Chains A and B, each alone.
Chain A
Amino acid sequence: MLDNQSTVNVLLKADRISKSFGSVPVLFSVNMEIHAGEVHSLIGENGAGKSTLMKILSGFHRPTSGRILLEGRDIQLPPNGGAEELGIVLIHQELNLAEQMTVEENIFLGRELTRRGVLDRLAMRTQVQSMLDAIGLGISPQDRISDLTIAEQQMVEIVKAVSRNARVLIMDEPTAVLTEAETKLFFQQVEALKKRGVAVIFVSHKLSEVKQISDRITVLRDGQWIATKPASELSPDAMAQMMVGRELSDLYPPLHEADVDADRVLEVTGLQAPGVHNVSFDLRKGEILGFSGLIGAGRTAVFEAICGLQPIHAGRVMFQGEEIRFPSVAAARDAGVAYLTKDRKAKGLLLDKQMGPNLTLFSLPKFQRRWGLDHAAEQSALERAVRRFDIRARDPMIKVGDMSGGNQQKLLIAKVMEAEPQVVIIDEPTRGIDVGTKQQVYHFIAALAAEGVSVVVISSEMPEVIGISHRVVVMREGAIMGVLTGDDINETEIMRHAAGLKQATAQPAAEAIQ
């Protein structure tokens, strides 16, 4: 990139962009240049202003001051996605595809080809097929969107954008929901787009991916432009430091030594449930037990079954020395077992409600008095939670859906902890949140364990599982492949178990129960 500086073609340029919402400034005089044929990553903590900048660059927001230049010309981007006409396409995290329609119908949606007033299905199909072939996507134009994997849907969205002559593609955390293999495929497509001169703005919290795919990286912090550098000059650690503005050596908190004699709070033997085959493990008081494995390895299924969200076909669950089977989530909660979902937007929080009703929803019986709900107690619970979990909201009346991902996650943790569980299962504790908030979440988890709460951390991010767990259970295809302790907790060992290369060590899992 650097050696052909003279021929660089600046497609889109943000020039001293500032933005305020009401009286709250969120961007301060930010500059960003996007060149044709580059992947330009935008990184920063949640609330750093990435989303706002992306929306300004795609016309969904209007800057309070500053200019946007398209190919050197000053331009007012049309609102509501009208910028697509100019070749600037924002691909949202939640995909914008009509689920019940086919790939070809989606790609030509709104500009269908017709012949004498009748849809020319054949022509559309041929065109879509050639587009799919061009990027090597093995799906048929007639597949229904709902039958595709998320990665394939994302690819369809990209094909759709490119078929509309997109020159700047802005992608908000496209890899957040992809498996490693899917991410690889996705990056191949991005490379292909680059060769065709499309500029890609890539937003991600996965810094190693950012390093891998980007040509240049722009860092934002607290709404300020910090730096734009070639990816080759930045290591993931350096990026994290620039994002947070401080050393991150203490990303993972120091763990208390695991007490091997502590009581076994939860013992599971031979659990059979949908997607779970003969799973046995135990959990001690004050322990952090990591659950690792590839996406779809059945980790979530194990705990959904234990917490009464899915039926248990066979097996024994002992909780605090007594055999128990929770018939409902409420029963599990009352006993002191709580599951914190990984899908905070669809299953965790009511996005159209404020923080208060969300916080107390899980533990509402606690606030029920003879004459109705105790609003004063709810209010003080909210104030307590905001302090304890450092939840930062622009306005206490804000809808939860308008809060940043990190604050949503903290609120979700606060919501579950409001029920004061003895065992808490946290599924993907840091999905889609920035490194600063991650650090806070890890410290919350460690503090809980130190208080004697037993924590299960289900995570697909290996450094996280390694950094925070006393022991790590590795699952594959619904079964436990091994339980790792001490020095065995490292990426190589976890990967070997997760990939099914090392099955023999499944034995220790059974031993641990005895």
Chain B
Amino acid sequence: MTDLAKERGPKGYRMSIDYKTAGPAIALFILCLIGYLLNPAFLSEGNLSNLLTRSAFIGIIAVGATFVITAGGIDLSVGSMAAAISGVMIIIMNASLDMMGAGFATVILGAGCSILLGIGAGWINGALTTKGKIEAFIVTLGTMGIYRSLVTYFADGGTLSLDFAIRGIYRPVYYGSFLGLPIPVWVFILVAALGWFLMNRTSFGRYCTAIGSNESVAKYSAIKVDRVKTLTYVIQGLCVSLATIIYVPRLGSASSSTGVLWELEAIAAVIIGGTVLKGGYGRIGGTILGALILTTIGNILNFTDLISNYLNGTMQGLIIIVAVWLQRGDWGKSRTKQPE
């Protein structure tokens, strides 16, 4: 029992929730305002569409990460996983070129393999943490290294390139648009909507929250803890594979530098969005805002010469720290926190 809620009473409690919900949205709004003031072209259709497309990769992965983190886990392997999956995808599509020709079927085959690989990789992470009873941090640190070295090995230290014949067919998945919005943005919207529904409207989402909040309570409440936790990693793998499918046509290649640091950006998006790192409280809506915030910072730095673009990481780092500091919500208040 903390004295915190008692001291603050019902009023303070609701206010802090409101703050948590609105915070990331306010931050994004302020960022956009700054962007516009520095350069009105920031709000041009072309730039906004570019910004949203770029957010899609991190955003989609971060939706998956929201489930993992809410259930008290962590997945550090997503960046390497994306690299490995894109590598294998390219190899498979190039290889099937002789048999199937350069057609939709080839691309569908590649995408299908990507999804299977994502689910499989997620399941491995999940099974090792639950059945193998190894900490998620260690498991995914291990698989992170494995996937990263696999893509280097497949590419023989260089770059795997998608055959030009397929590239032409596959290209619209990244560069095409539907009803004025780029395809990656549609995928992002779809994943976000499904993620939101799963988190807030189903037993599964409730179970993730319960497990992250207290695993023993979850176990005694008839929740199949291992199954739910494994599923969060599978969802994460699926999200990575979807992000990979829309990422591959962008450059048409994969190398050891593909998806570097994506895991940290995804985790950062989740945390900026208000999800609690130790689990038990997850917000898909916040995650999406978090992903947009991260991309927007990079975009603004690209757009203006106020701060060097090389300082992108610095700005992102600052935003993460400030976001978490603000979320503690007790600045300026004296606070007594003692277990009763």
Seen from chain A, the residues whose Cβ lies within 8 Å of a Cβ on chain B are 21-24, 51, 55, 60-61, 79-81, 92-94, 96, 172, 309, 328-330, 332-333, 339, 341, 343, 346-353, 357, 361-362, 364-365, 367-368, 371-373, 394-395, 397-399, 401-402, 415, 419
Contact = CB atoms under 8 A, between A and B. Distances in A.
Contacts of A92: 338-340
A349 B3 contact: no
B220 A339 contact: yes
Interface string B219-244: 11111100000000000000000000
A398 B10 contact: yes
Interface stretch (B90-98, B200-208, B299-307, B308-316): B200-208
B153 interface: no
Interface in B286-340: 334, 336, 338-340
A33 B220 CA distance: 44
A402 B210 contact: no
Given A96-B339, A309-B219, A401-B2, 10 more contacts: A60-B336, A61-B7, A309-B220, A346-B217, A347-B216, A350-B213, A350-B280, A364-B206, A394-B10, A401-B1
A402 B222 contact: no
Contacts of B281: 352
Contacts of B202: 368, 372-373
B1 A351 contact: yes
Contacts of B224: 328, 330
B11 interface: yes
Interface string B181-213: 000000000000000010001110011011001
A346 B216 CA distance: 7
Interface string B1-13: 1110111011101
Given A94-B340, A372-B197, A347 B217 contact: yes
Nearest to A419: B222
A401 B338 CA distance: 12
A343 B220 CA distance: 10
A328 B222 contact: yes
B216 A60 contact: no
B50 interface: no
Contact of B1 (A348, A361, A394, A402): A402
A409 to B, nearest CB: 14
Given A361-B210, A397-B13, A349 B217 contact: yes
Contacts of B1: 351, 401-402
B195 to A, nearest CB: 13
23 contacts: A21-B7, A21-B9, A80-B338, A93-B339, A94-B340, A309-B219, A328-B224, A329-B219, A330-B222, A333-B222, A347-B214, A347-B216, A347-B217, A350-B214, A361-B206, A361-B210, A362-B222, A371-B201, A372-B201, A395-B9, A399-B13, A401-B5, A402-B6
Given A81-B338, A353-B213, A397-B14, A329 B222 contact: yes
Contacts of A349: 217
B210, B221, B223: residue with the most chain A Cβ atoms closer than 10 Å: B221
B126 to A, nearest CB: 18
Given A397-B14, A401-B1, A361 B336 contact: no
- State the 7 A-B residue pairs at the shortest beta-carbon distance, nearest first: A372-B201, A22-B9, A329-B222, A330-B222, A395-B10, A347-B216, A333-B222
B203 A365 contact: yes
Contact of A362 (B6, B197, B201, B221): B221
A61 B3 contact: yes
B153 to A, nearest CB: 40
B133 to A, nearest CB: 16
Contacts of A329: 219-223
Interface of B: 1-3, 5-7, 9-11, 13-14, 197, 201-203, 206-207, 209-210, 213-214, 216-224, 280-281, 334, 336, 338-340
A347 B217 CA distance: 4
A348 B7 contact: no
A372 to B, nearest CB: 3
A324 B6 CA distance: 47
A397 B18 CA distance: 14
Contacts of B6: 21, 402
Contact of A357 (B5, B210, B223, B334): B210
Contacts of A415: 221
A80 B333 CA distance: 13
A330 B210 contact: no
A233 to B, nearest CB: 31
A79 B213 CA distance: 29
A109 B3 CA distance: 24
A467 B7 CA distance: 40
Nearest to A350: B213
Nearest to A349: B217
A398 B9 CA distance: 9
A120 to B, nearest CB: 30
Given A333-B222, A348-B220, A364 B9 contact: no
Contacts of A55: 3
Contacts of A394: 10
Contacts of A341: 220
Given A350-B213, A353-B213, A368-B202, A361 B3 contact: no
A346 B215 CA distance: 9
Given A51-B340, A96-B339, A350 B3 contact: no
Contacts of B5: 398-399, 401-402
B214 A346 contact: yes
Nearest to B4: A402
Contacts of B11: 22
A147 B25 CA distance: 48
Contact of B201 (A51, A172, A333, A373): A373
B340 A352 contact: no
A352 B214 CA distance: 9
Contacts of B197: 372
Contacts of B280: 350, 352-353
Nearest to B5: A402
A372 B334 CA distance: 41
Contacts of B214: 346-347, 350-351
Nearest to B14: A397
B220 A397 contact: no
A373 B9 contact: no
Contacts of A399: 5, 13
Contacts of A368: 202-203
A357 B220 CA distance: 15
B13, B216, B338, B340: residue with the most chain A Cβ atoms closer than 10 Å: B340
B10 A22 contact: yes
A349 B224 CA distance: 16
B203 A373 contact: yes
Contacts of B338: 60, 80-81, 92
A24 B11 CA distance: 12
Nearest to A52: B6
Contacts of A330: 222-224
A11 to B, nearest CB: 22
A397 B10 contact: yes
Contacts of A332: 222
A60 B5 CA distance: 14
A361 B3 CA distance: 25
B296 to A, nearest CB: 31
A419 B281 CA distance: 25
B333 to A, nearest CB: 12
A351 B334 CA distance: 23
A350 B10 contact: no
Contacts of A60: 3, 336, 338
A207 B72 CA distance: 41
